[in-house]
Amino acid sequence: MKRLELICLMVLLITISFRYTEKLWKKPLDWPEPVYNFKKNPLDSATVQLGRVLFYDPVLSSDSSISCASCHSPYNAFTHVDHALSHGIKDRIGTRNSPVLVNLAWGKSFMWDGAVNHLDMQALAPLENHVEMDETLPHVLQKLAKQEKYRRLFEAAFHSETMTGERFLKAISQFMLTLVSSDSKYDRVLRGENGIQFTEMERKGYALFKEHCASCHTEPLFTNQTFQNNGLAPDSILQDVGRMKITGKSSDSLKFKVPTLRNIERSAPYMHDGRYRSLQMVLFHYSTDIHSSATLAPQLRNGIRLSEDDKRNLIAFLKTLTDNTFLNNKQFQYPRTIK
Amino acid sequence: MIRTATYLVFFLPLFGWGQLIVEINLKAGNELVELNEPVRLNGYSFQLEQARLYLSKFEFYQNGHLKATDSTLAYLVDLEIDSTRKLIFPVVQGSGIDEIRFLFGIDSLTNTSGAMNGALDPMHGMYWSWQSGYINCKLEGTFTAPERETFQLHLGGYAHPFSGVQRILLKTDKTNVCRLDIDLNALMERVIRTKSELHVMSPGSRAVEYAQLLAKSIELKP
């Protein structure tokens, strides 16, 4: 009998846990199943909140000047603005444009070259990078342990003040997992909400998008998460070989992860090195400025033929991917109320 | 960990369980290698300043049949911390285990499973941050041949074709205490003779080659 009671209790607890996770994170209708295994890190509000506080705290950097949010601002779809390349402590300049943080539960790999294989481990990369936060995980945990606020937040999240690398990383993951963008005009049109329709320009742009862009920027995530050479001429100063740095394969030379286009209106500059400051420049690249090389994506061998009208229509469509519900969500912003 | 080991020592026999104690030593031929103590071999000398390695997924066999699987996913052996050099496994008394199998390093499944705790917590400095993956073995030190030079070998990699994890199968006729010796001789000779790959810090063919040299040197002694 006792055994049965124990099993019932466990089933109840697991059910409650999943329901609670669902409140904090819900798969949008008709979206694929997430890649992230929530069973190994079930979301709860206290842990999400801890992750959020950590995300905005510059104590994560060696001189306490740079937080995750320094390069991933919520107002810019969690990327930075006005910088081609991300910059870290002491004005050190990195080699890549910071990517947006959105819909990460579906991420198969992270960073422009896919160097990070799991969301939980993502935060380690900037934390220990010399030109970003230049810290070490043990030292950050030591600094956090000295703060009463963090002892309280860890206790609330894990029922223990003990700060481990696993808990730290999983808390940041939990916050990042909540950053779901699925309420743009595009989403509302597809859901048929309140009779919302595309304008004529947006409709034409969507048709062009499906013809020329969707093979890589696949809906609904607007990325197929592969690594592609999209015909950017190599930068002679950065000399960034992209995915090849990780795999060592020449067939991966100059390939970078296909970024999502969600909220692209707000996430300039564009490309892995932030070389284009506007969507007009991006479309100029795809239509007339493709650099040919051995690993160039086959779809781009002849460029994409676009008239000026086509470009305007495409940009009109891309702007329908702006999700103001996401961009203005106070739950994602600096946690002013937590002291 | 020490407390757990103590419980095992005192209480396991009451339930018909014994224990298998595996003591891990780094060797250079017959010579025991300790941190910051010079080791002389074949006209050169080397000195380790740091030696840390992962052993994982221990399994115990009898006549080729799996008898027990260790519940601890991985052990981080650190030459600087004596307690990490002794692994204690509960085994059924008289179970006649004649083979131990384990991994020298961390397998790809664990490497792609996100943040882990215990020995696998990334805070131990055995996880690459710039590129995901555990460092299976970290050896740092100096050698004199005849000039003094430093070496840093961070051997890792979990993905094809540069997977550095090595599967180890060792026969044993003991069920209580045995020694696991890892002989650095072949590796250090290779490092010192070539002198071209003194700093291996990423997955690659050299890391795999070095890991294989270490794996081949592993012996279980009574």
* pLDDT of B20: 87
Residue B195 confidence class, pLDDT cut points 50, 70, 90: confident
Q: Stretch A79-83: mean pLDDT, rounded?
A: 88
In the predicted model, is pLDDT for residue A3 greater than 90? no
Yes or no: say if B152 and B201 are a contact pair by the CB < 8 Å rule. Answer: yes
In the predicted model, is pLDDT for residue A20 greater than 80? no
In the predicted model, is pLDDT for residue B165 greater than 60? yes
* pLDDT of A23: 80
Q: Stretch B204-221: mean pLDDT, rounded?
A: 95
Q: Domain A185-325 is classified in which CATH homologous superfamily?
A: Cytochrome c-like domain (1.10.760.10)
* pLDDT of A336: 85
Residue A23 or A17, more confident = A23
What whole-number distance in Å separates Cα of residue A171 and Cα of residue A255? 31
Distance from CA of B76 to the nearest CA of A (A): 15
* pLDDT of A81: 83
What pLDDT digit, counting tens, does each position of A156-180 carry?
999 999 999 999 999 999 999 999 9
Q: In this complex, is the C-beta atom of A163 within 8 Å of any C-beta atom belonging to chain B?
A: no
Residues of chain A with CATH 1.10.760.10: 17-180, 185-325
What whole-number distance in Å separates Cα of residue A286 and Cα of residue A288? 6
Domain boundaries, chain B: 2-221
* pLDDT of B16: 54
Residue B9 confidence class, pLDDT cut points 50, 70, 90: very low
Q: If you search the block for the tokens 């809906």, which residue do you land on?
A: A219
Which residue from B115, B131, B204 is facing A115, i.e. has the nearest CB?
Answer: B131
Q: In this complex, is the C-beta atom of B111 within 8 Å of any C-beta atom belonging to chain A?
A: yes
Q: What integer best gives the mean pLDDT of chain B?
A: 90
* pLDDT of B152: 97
Distance from CA of B207 to the nearest CA of A (A): 13
What whole-number distance in Å separates Cα of residue A33 and Cα of residue B1? 39
Yes or no, beta carbons of A166 and B117 under 8 Å apart: yes
- CB within 8 Å of A213: residues ≥ 6 apart: A261, A314
In the predicted model, is pLDDT for residue A192 greater than 60? yes
- CB within 8 Å of A148: residues ≥ 6 apart: none
Q: Between A and B, how many CB-CB pairs are < 8 A? A: 67
Task: Judge whether A8 is annotated as a binding position.
Answer: no
Q: In this complex, is the C-beta atom of A95 within 8 Å of any C-beta atom belonging to chain B?
A: no
Which residue from B112, B124, B131 is facing A118, i.e. has the nearest CB?
Answer: B112
In the predicted model, is pLDDT for residue B82 greater than 80? yes
Q: Would you give the distance in Å from CA A117 to the centre of its chain?
A: 14
Residue B92 confidence class, pLDDT cut points 50, 70, 90: low
- Output the DSSP codes for A122-179: HTHHHHH-TTTT---HHHHHHHHHT-HHHHHHHHHHHSS----HHHHHHHHHHHHHT-
Lowest mean pLDDT among A25-29, A252-256, B172-176, B188-192: B172-176
What whole-number distance in Å separates Cα of residue B134 and Cα of residue B127? 4
In the predicted model, is pLDDT for residue B5 greater than 80? no
Q: In this complex, is the C-beta atom of A136 within 8 Å of any C-beta atom belonging to chain B?
A: yes
In the predicted model, is pLDDT for residue A15 greater than 60? no
Fold of A17-180: Cytochrome Bc1 Complex; Chain D, domain 2 (1.10.760)
What pLDDT digit, counting tens, does each position of A212-269 carry?
999 999 999 999 999 999 999 999 999 999 999 999 999 999 999 999 999 999 999 9
In the predicted model, is pLDDT for residue B13 greater than 80? no
What are the distances in angstroms from CA A215 to CA A219, A223, A281, A302, B129? Answer: 9, 9, 21, 16, 32
Residue A316 or B92, more confident = A316
Q: In this complex, is the C-beta atom of B202 within 8 Å of any C-beta atom belonging to chain A?
A: no
Yes or no, beta carbons of A166 and B116 under 8 Å apart: yes
Cα R_g (chain A), whole angstroms: 21
Q: Stretch A14-43: mean pLDDT, rounded?
A: 84
The phi and psi torsions of B173 (rounded to 5 degrees) equal -115, 15
In the predicted model, is pLDDT for residue A19 greater than 60? no
Q: In this complex, is the C-beta atom of B117 within 8 Å of any C-beta atom belonging to chain A?
A: yes
In the predicted model, is pLDDT for residue B214 greater than 50? yes
What pLDDT digit, counting tens, does each position of A282-312 carry?
999 999 999 999 999 999 999 999 999 999 9
Q: Stretch B197-201: mean pLDDT, rounded?
A: 92
* pLDDT of B221: 85
In the predicted model, is pLDDT for residue B15 greater than 60? no
**Which helix (H) or strand (E) is A68 found in, with range?**
helix A68-71
Which residue from A125, A138, A248 is facing B204, i.e. has the nearest CB?
Answer: A248
> ipTM of the predicted structure?
0.87
Yes or no, beta carbons of B123 and A128 under 8 Å apart: no
Q: Stretch B97-104: mean pLDDT, rounded?
A: 94
In the predicted model, is pLDDT for residue B110 greater than 70? yes
* pLDDT of B2: 47
